[in-house]
Structure 1
Amino acid sequence: MTDITRILLRNGHVIDTEPEPVAHPGTDVLIEDGRIAAVGPDLPAEGATVIDATDRIVLPGFVDTHRHVWQSALRSAAVDMDLMGYLGVMGQLGARLRPQDIHAATLVGALESLDSGITTLMDFSHALNTPEHADAAVDGLRAAGLRAVFGYGFPPGAPANYDDVRRIRAGRLDDDEALVTMALAPMGPSFTPPEVVAGDWGLAADLGLPVTFHVSAGPVAAQPVSVLRELGLLDVKALYVHGNSLDDDELKLIADSGGHASVTPSTEAMLSIGRPVTGRYRRAGVTTSLGADAVTSAPGDMFSVMRAALVASQVADDAAERLSVRDVLRMATLDGAAALGLADRIGSLRPGKQADVILLRLDDLNLLGAERDPIAAVVTAAHPQNVDTVLVAGQVVKSAGRLVNGDLPQAAQALRDTAAAVSGS
């Protein structure tokens, strides 16, 4: 990681996302002490390290609001499976993970995200079989150098370890301004009875944690959001994941409560979870973000996720639910930041925000001519190999197409060892 306090990104095709995505050619971005100081043409370069952004698209880093990062050790293990098949395989293999496996998989999954331009990640970590597993996951996120929210989850069928949640919160993730922060990731009202939900939400409230959870119409509650209302829990900061099978009244409850949504179009399609829900959420007034979810079933880069969201929306019966490329890019940046409660610090290039920024090579073959509409090109044409430079909080973590943080060969070997141990080979 390169520690530079003043950086000038010179003469780029700058895309900002606030209030809406807009492109500015021939524009500079000045970064001071980890924050965006100014955006505009011909900014003064005195005292700054200049990065030439000519033939580069400059934009905020992507925000992935739902990913099971530990599953990087099981890449493509559940392709051609439906949801029940996936759950069976993940339950079986996840139970075999040792703490060192969680560390290896979390580190590589986080580095993979950074490498593809994802600077912020919600890690829904639910293979935490012991306190040592939880420590290993936090250590993996921190070692990678990205911005992350560690979602403390509970293994399906196992008792919730409230004491360990409290330990991690008090001893490891007590600073809500740090690069790695914390959320609670319980099973939620779709899958657990109301008394369990009340306990989980009460724990989150006691510890000052946001809540993120998978949501669907059943199997325990056909109207899970209504259950939260009945329990008086809709005022808790919540991020609802999926929700394809929820009816419109449930989506309205989410919107009215100020809740946010994370949709994962690639895995939702691959696992036959349901019809695209992105447009329905947005029509209901819910701030909607994007997640890669599970690399066991689909790609883990935001370019693939954005394209899946864009294409899936085009088959909506209601034209109002169809997305534009600008809608999708905002979902992958500023709306993602809002969904994680981080819109005051990331998601756009507004001066004062922390400098989570990526640069894409416009002179790569697949992006030649993209100057005409760089926003459309980012969503429809770009891929991870175009990511030249990545900054997190003003720190350069990828330069000239290569990650600069950590021992990548060692991390790769640790993941191979984990994959072999988990699969039994």
Structure 2
Amino acid sequence: MPDNRILIRNGHVIDTDPQPYARPNTDVLIEDGRIVAVGTDLSAEGATVIDATDRIVLPGFVDTHRHVWQSALRGAAVDVDLGAYLGILAQCGPTFRPGDVYTATLAGALECLDSGITTQLDYSHISYSPEHADAAIDALRTAGLRAVYGYGTPVTGGGSLDDVRRIRTERLADDNALVTMAYAPLGPSFTPVEVVAGEWKVADELDLRVTFHVAATPVNPQPITALRDAGLLREKILYVHGNTLGDDELKLIADSGAAASAAPGAEAMLGNNSPVAGRLKRLGVTTGLGVDAVTSAPGDMFSLMRAALLASQIADSPRMTCADVLRMATLGGAEALGLADRTGSLRPGKQADLVLIRLDDLSTLTAERDPIAAVVTAAHPHNVDTVLVAGQVMKSDSRLVHADLGRVAQDLRSTAAAVAAL
């Protein structure tokens, strides 16, 4: 359980609502896992004090799209295109046993926490059986981060609508819990609209947000238009990628009130056409950032933010700023996941998902003149000193405090070796 009262004292505080802005020498007061005040000289009576002098304090990062189980396949799809990546998944995915899914998902979730990602959508397209799905959920709960478990369809087939119903009703019925649920089918780019309509009906029945990969494909060259024409456009959808879609398609997403996840690192590595994050912003689409796959790209938000920023300097007009990118990595991601009522900013009443970044490391020295630029352009996971999720300290003095990392590393190496041997 979180401490009843925590005072984070004298930090360089960055809030993100409505847009990122920095406040020096500022305190954040937390009670019963929620932010109750942000200001100067707040009372420390009865509180555990965390000294944030020489620290940036900001909302935890929100990763809106990651196949977390692929932590056991890190680097396996570098220097290859999307087709080869999918081939690797088709070969390796069926070899994962439920215990392997648990180990790989736990390791990937802990990697998120270690680097300051406090909220994660796990697009878990490893649901070969109910036991595989249960293993992923168990791992997310063990890790202790805020997570949305996205029940996904494996590349080689598997999963079932009956199991989606089982998980929703028996395991993830509480939408206020730390781990909640979404549905992650193949979507209209890869299945006929008639199939999509049936999947949407189940999602509506279970009151689930839907997320899926989207692109212009032979199945549907204009998948968003196809959804509109079938009466299937709706607000509770998170579209992933969309690099090959025209502006008219992306504008349909904006007009529907739905959201998107851009993964600039993996998209660039796998040749997913031109960058899309800047276009999404320009067209008014609520947008978060996603790591996607550590098989092809780094797994931390700092690398991801820099990928988005650098791509924008070349591809976009107007170019995105550091503040634009940081908002996508925090409040924008929370909005995209439907979680902005509880995370993504420091507004009092929200749950205390926070990150403290050291300013006394060589890579961040003198960065207090512009903390927002420092987070986006200079910081990296090594600088993450403290992480809180719902007011519970998950990382302190640069170490995760609730994880047996030695055991996790041993188990993950065993899983990786077993998968490679098959």
SS of alignment partner, residue 262 of structure 1: strand
Quick check: 2:2–2:33 contact (8 Å CA) kept in 1?
Answer: no
Distance 1:19 1:26 in 2: 21
SS of alignment partner, residue 129 of structure 1: coil
Quick check: 2:215–2:242 contact (8 Å CA) kept in 1?
Answer: yes
Q: Aligned partner of 2:382: which letter?
A: Q
Residue 160 of structure 1: how far off its partner (Å): 4.5
SS of alignment partner, residue 366 of structure 1: coil
Query: Pairwise mapping of residues 324-335 of structure 1 onto structure 2 (< 5 A)?
Result: 324-335=321-332
Selected match of 2:385 from 385, 388, 393:
388
Distance 1:370 1:238 in 2: 38
Query: Pairwise mapping of residues 226-305 of structure 1 onto structure 2 (< 5 A)?
Result: 226-305=225-304
Quick check: 1:205–1:236 contact (8 Å CA) kept in 2?
Answer: no
Selected match of 1:357 from 345, 354, 357:
354
Residue 231 of structure 1: how far off its partner (Å): 1.7
Distance 1:159 1:103 in 2: 18
Partner residue in 1 for 2:342: 345
Q: Aligned partner of 1:313: which letter?
A: S
Q: Aligned partner of 1:55: which letter?
A: D
Partner residue in 2 for 1:182: 181
Q: Aligned partner of 1:385: which letter?
A: H
Q: Aligned partner of 2:394: which letter?
A: V
- Give the alignment's TM-score, normalised by structure 1: 0.98
Residue 248 of structure 1: how far off its partner (Å): 1.2
- Give the alignment's TM-score, normalised by structure 2: 0.99
Partner residue in 1 for 2:26: 27
- 1:130-149 deviations in Å (ceiling 9; x for gaps): 10000000000000000000
Residue 3 of structure 1: how far off its partner (Å): 3.3
SS of alignment partner, residue 182 of structure 1: strand
Q: Aligned partner of 1:338: which letter?
A: E
- 1:289-331 deviations in Å (ceiling 9; x for gaps): 1000000001000000000000001112x522x1100000000
SS of alignment partner, residue 70 of structure 2: helix
Distance 2:236 2:36 in 1: 30
SS of alignment partner, residue 314 of structure 2: coil
Distance 1:136 1:5 in 2: 31
Identical residues among aligned pairs (%): 70
Distance 1:52 1:157 in 2: 50
Partner residue in 1 for 2:317: 319
Partner residue in 1 for 2:371: 374
Distance 1:34 1:126 in 2: 32
Distance 1:80 1:352 in 2: 45
SS of alignment partner, residue 27 of structure 2: strand
SS of alignment partner, residue 406 of structure 1: coil
- The answer to whether the aligner puts 1:216 opposite 2:200 as a matched pair is no
SS of alignment partner, residue 234 of structure 2: coil
SS of alignment partner, residue 79 of structure 1: coil
Query: Pairwise mapping of residues 139-218 of structure 1 onto structure 2 (< 5 A)?
Result: 139-218=138-217
- The answer to whether the aligner puts 1:81 opposite 2:84 as a matched pair is no
Distance 1:160 1:200 in 2: 12
SS of alignment partner, residue 314 of structure 1: helix
Distance 2:2 2:190 in 1: 45
Residue 106 of structure 1: how far off its partner (Å): 0.2
Quick check: 91-100 or 229-238, which moved more? 229-238
Residue 157 of structure 1: how far off its partner (Å): 4.0
Quick check: 2:9–2:49 contact (8 Å CA) kept in 1?
Answer: yes
Residue 159 of structure 1: how far off its partner (Å): 4.9
Distance 2:402 2:232 in 1: 41
Q: Aligned partner of 1:152: which letter?
A: Y
Residue 416 of structure 1: how far off its partner (Å): 0.8
SS of alignment partner, residue 206 of structure 1: helix
Q: Aligned partner of 2:189: which letter?
A: S
Residue 406 of structure 1: how far off its partner (Å): 2.6
Q: Aligned partner of 2:40: which letter?
A: P
- The answer to whether the aligner puts 1:336 opposite 2:333 as a matched pair is yes
Is the alpha carbon distance of 1:393 and 1:411 closer, same or farther for their aligned partners in structure 2, counting shifts above 3 Å? same
> Structure 2, unaligned stretches of length 5 or more?
none
Quick check: 2:5–2:32 contact (8 Å CA) kept in 1?
Answer: yes
Distance 1:77 1:282 in 2: 31
Distance 1:179 1:422 in 2: 30
Quick check: 1:59–1:359 contact (8 Å CA) kept in 2?
Answer: yes
- The answer to whether the aligner puts 1:417 opposite 2:414 as a matched pair is yes
Distance 1:414 1:373 in 2: 41
SS of alignment partner, residue 358 of structure 1: strand
Is the alpha carbon distance of 1:305 and 1:376 closer, same or farther for their aligned partners in structure 2, counting shifts above 3 Å? same
Distance 2:411 2:79 in 1: 27
- 1:76-132 deviations in Å (ceiling 9; x for gaps): 001011000000001110110000000000000000000000000000000111100
Quick check: 1:211–1:236 contact (8 Å CA) kept in 2?
Answer: no
Distance 2:40 2:90 in 1: 53
Distance 2:220 2:143 in 1: 38
Partner residue in 1 for 2:38: 39
